[in-house]
Amino acid sequence: NENRFDVHEITFSCPVLTGEQKGFDVKVSLGMMLGALSNLVDNSIYWLQIRWPKDRSRRAIYIGTTDFYEEGPALVFADNGPGLPTNSAELTKPFVTTKPDGMGLGLYYVNLVCELNGARLIISPDRTDVGIPRAYSGAAFAIVFNKG
């Protein structure tokens, strides 16, 4: 997605890639998980454009890791877009969307991929617990993988 971040002028921070956080190994369907992560990126790009239409230098996405959850390691995803509605748990249901022309299948798919791969999607995890930097005050997700 590096080229997409460049085109949309999005600052991308991923401490695992710079050695600031440790990575972890999981057994999942790579294609399915990449599709789910791509959906989160797509959503962020859309909402960052909505929140920062003119001030492109403010657009930012963060992907990190955490070992906060007992069931296993987690991938943490956040942006500094407008954030999620308070009833965000509904967003994993099919055909529920906050995008004006959205189909409501994106987060449903992300959640389904997590379930099929023995993981759990958490919408709006506690930012302090999972180590999301304060600058990323928009939407936030954690994909928690089972240790086994």
Q: What is the per-residue pLDDT across 87-104, written as a single tens digit (0 to 9) for each?
A: 888 999 999 988 989 999
Task: Report the alpha-carbon distance of residue 31 to residue 15 in Å, rounded.
Answer: 23
Q: What is the pLDDT of residues 9-57, one digit of tens each?
A: 999 999 999 999 999 999 999 999 999 999 999 999 999 999 999 999 9
pLDDT at 139 over 80: yes
Look-up: residue for tokens 């995803």? 77
Total-model pTM? 0.94
Element (H, E) at 4: helix 2-7
Structure confidence at residue 88 (pLDDT): 85
| Alpha carbons 116 and 123: distance in angstroms, whole number | 17
- Answer whether residue 148 shows pLDDT above 80: no
